[in-house]
Amino acid sequence: MKLGLVVKIGTRAGAIFGYLTKDDILLILMIIISGLQLLYDYIKNRKD
């Protein structure tokens, strides 16, 4: 991954997060965490 691309994505993410309220950020975090939990459970069940 090129550094310029990372910087471009970072600045875009910063611009997007600038428009979000605290509640929006918390909602996005909750969605990400629940998605990760589902993925973890799926991987754990597949091993058993």
Over the stretch 8-46, which tens digit does the pLDDT of each residue have? Answer: 766 777 777 677 788 888 898 999 999 999 999 999 898
Whether pTM exceeds 0.85: no
Domain that holds residue 29: 21-48
Q: For the chain, what is the domain count?
A: 1
Label residues 1-27 b or e (16+ Cβ within 10 Å = b): eeeeeeeeeeeeeeeeeeeeeeeeeee
With respect to residue 36, please indicate whether it lies within any of the assigned structural domains. Answer: yes
Tell me the helices (H) and strands (E) count for the chain, helix number first: 2, 0
With respect to residue 13, please indicate whether it lies within any of the assigned structural domains. Answer: no
- Please, are residues 25 and 17 in contact by the beta-carbon 8 Å criterion? yes
Residue type for position 22: K
CA 13 to chain centre: 11
